[in-house]
Amino acid sequence: MTLDTPAASPLLSVRDLTKYFPITGGVMRRVVGAVRAVDGISFDVAQGETLGLVGESGCGKTTAGRAILRLIEPTSGEIHFDGEDVRALAKEPLRKLRRRMQIVFQDPFSSLNPRMTVGASVREGLTIHRLAEGSAADARVRQLLEEVGLRPEHASRYPHEFSGGQRQRVGIARALAVEPKFIVCDEPVSALDVSVQAQVINLLQDLQRAHGLAYLFIAHDLSVVEHIADRVAVMYLGRIVELANADDLYAMPLMPYTQALLSAIPVPDPEAKRARIVLRGDVPSPANPPSGCPFHPRCQHPQKDAACSVIVPPLELKEPHHWAACIKQLPTRVSWEEQQAAGATKPPERIVPIRATA
């Protein structure tokens, strides 16, 4: 797949990335199949940009984030970051590269060492990458804690002495310590209460402006992503099914799955008029995805027909800078003749639901 990129040289460029997990069976533990957690995704992230990656549990968004950092090894595909071929790097250069690519996890409690003071945790990256030593490192740790809204004296405390929001601030300080250009934020506010969530979102945005950081913001909360992201990629069963500027995607979702997903968000306004699309059934297993379009068994597009279970829809340009994967949503380069050959009876149309207005 090709994408015409707006930026001449994006900071991060991912092409046809896949991650398959083997399924073993029988007494010999032979490989009998594969879970296609990430099944050929491509996207770019420009410097200072936030790309939101959304989807429901099991869609592969977390696996994608980790495969990009090679925290898990991808099965195939290309990853270029800041001019380097990430997949070709040996252990030592990869370690060096991680200084520029960091990750913040959903639950900072499980990612912070409970026996280390918060100061020591934040300092670890400085030591590993030889960025500061001795009193210079102490000063840097205090500065980082202040920057994320904690007090310098918090350095001598342990993770259990902090609230969830404060622990997330420590996780962010730790990522920030090595002066990265890019941070994968994997559900960074999902475990937090609404009022604390707002504090952490503001912090992430302040830091982005101050340091020119790029984020891959992985989340299932579509309202949070709408607020923070410049562009959004929607994943379903290991694939990107829609990719657009955030404003365009939320105003005019084109892939039927995105349409249903957005319509399902509860609107905090009892007067809101909503046209909810309630999907039937569950997300199918990525070990045994449906043929053709992975979404076709649940799809509500009125023109859905037999061809949808045969043709794998390409992620194609439907509007300027707006890609979607649906052969029934106009325009499409999958010709009507091709669709008919696959059993189509209903020609493609353009169906766009009216968004619930708050």
Partner 1 sequence: MTPRPLLSVQELRTYFRTSAGVARAVDGVSFSIAANESVGVVGESGCGKSVTSLSLLRLIQRPGTIEPGSKIEFEGTDLLSLDDESMRKIRGNRIAMIFQEPMTALNPVFTVGAQLAEVPRVHESLSRRDAWARAVEMLGTVGIPDPAERAHAYPHQLSGGMRQRVMIGMALMLSPALLIADEPTTALDVTIQAQILELLAELRARTSMSVLLITHDLGVVAESTSRVIVMYAGEIVEQAGVRELFAKPHHPYTEGLMAAMPRAGTKRERLTVIPGAVPSPYEWPGGCRFHERCPYAWERCEREHPPLYEIGAGHVSRCHLAVEPERRATPHLPLAARAGAGA
* Rounded Cα gap, residues 27 and 123, in angstroms: 47
* Rounded Cα gap, residues 49 and 230, in angstroms: 7
Only one residue has tokens 């955030």, namely: 246
Which residue, 85 or 282, is less far from partner 1 as judged by CB?
Answer: 282
DSSP per position, 177-235: TT--SEEEEESTTTTS-HHHHHHHHHHHHHHHHHHT-EEEEEES-HHHHHHH-SEEEEE
Q: How many CB atoms lie within 10 A of CB 115?
A: 8
Which residue, 18 or 197, is less far from partner 1 as judged by CB?
Answer: 197
Q: How far is the CB of 355 from partner 1 (least distance, A)?
A: 8
Which residue, 53 or 148, is less far from partner 1 as judged by CB?
Answer: 148
Buried b (16+ CB within 10 A) or exposed e, 324-348: bbbbbbeebebeeeebeebebeeeb
Q: How far is the CB of 253 from partner 1 (least distance, A)?
A: 13
Only one residue has tokens 């892939």, namely: 255
Residues 6+ apart with CB under 8 A from 153: none
Give the helix/strand (H/E) hosting 169: helix 164-176
Residues 6+ apart with CB under 8 A from 227: 201
Strand, coil or helix: what is 306?
A: helix
Q: How far is the CB of 179 from partner 1 (least distance, A)?
A: 21
Q: How far is the CB of 208 from partner 1 (least distance, A)?
A: 10
Which residue, 197 or 339, is less far from partner 1 as judged by CB?
Answer: 197
Which residue, 16 or 193, is less far from partner 1 as judged by CB?
Answer: 193
Q: How far is the CB of 131 from partner 1 (least distance, A)?
A: 25
Which residue, 90 or 354, is less far from partner 1 as judged by CB?
Answer: 354
* Rounded Cα gap, residues 22 and 206, in angstroms: 41
Q: How far is the CB of 145 from partner 1 (least distance, A)?
A: 10
Residues near partner 1 (CB under 8 A) are 56-57, 148-151, 154, 163, 165-166, 169, 193-199, 201-203, 205, 220, 222-224, 226-228, 246-247, 250, 260-261, 263-272, 276, 278-283, 358
Task: Enter the DSSP assignment of 289.
Answer: P
Q: How far is the CB of 47 from partner 1 (least distance, A)?
A: 17
Which residue, 300 or 340, is less far from partner 1 as judged by CB?
Answer: 300
